[in-house]
Amino acid sequence: MYEPSTELKKLEIEKAGAEQQLMREQHKYQRLCNREQYYKKRERTARAHRLITRGAAVESVSPLVKVLGEVEFFTLVERIFSMPEVKGMVMEAVNAHNAAEQLGGD
């Protein structure tokens, strides 16, 4: 014979299981979102650190650039890096870096 209370209990148990599974999946999704944000923040922090340290290096090598405004500084940097001999030195440095990285990666 069919008993509604037994069927109702089965459905309640099934519902509770489905709700627990939903909560687990929501928690898993939140952890993945948090991880994504962590990696994005880490990349931004690393970039900011790199820019600050390189800017400080420029000022330590050439303290006179401290008096230049932003536009003047960028104009100077563009002129310096457009010079053929500077382009060549940058390329040499990049090639040396890549070669060292390949040797270290083997």
Number of domains in the chain: 2
* pLDDT given for residue 105 in this prediction: 67
Shared domain check, 49 and 16: yes
Shared domain check, 80 and 52: no
Shared domain check, 86 and 38: no
pLDDT digits (tens, 9 = 90+) for 39-61: 999 999 999 999 999 999 999 99
- Does the structure show a pLDDT above 60 at 106? no
C-alpha distances in Å from residue 69, one per residue of 52, 65, 73: 17, 9, 6
* pLDDT given for residue 77 in this prediction: 95
- Does the structure show a pLDDT above 80 at 2? no
Domain that holds residue 33: 1-62
pTM of structure: 0.57
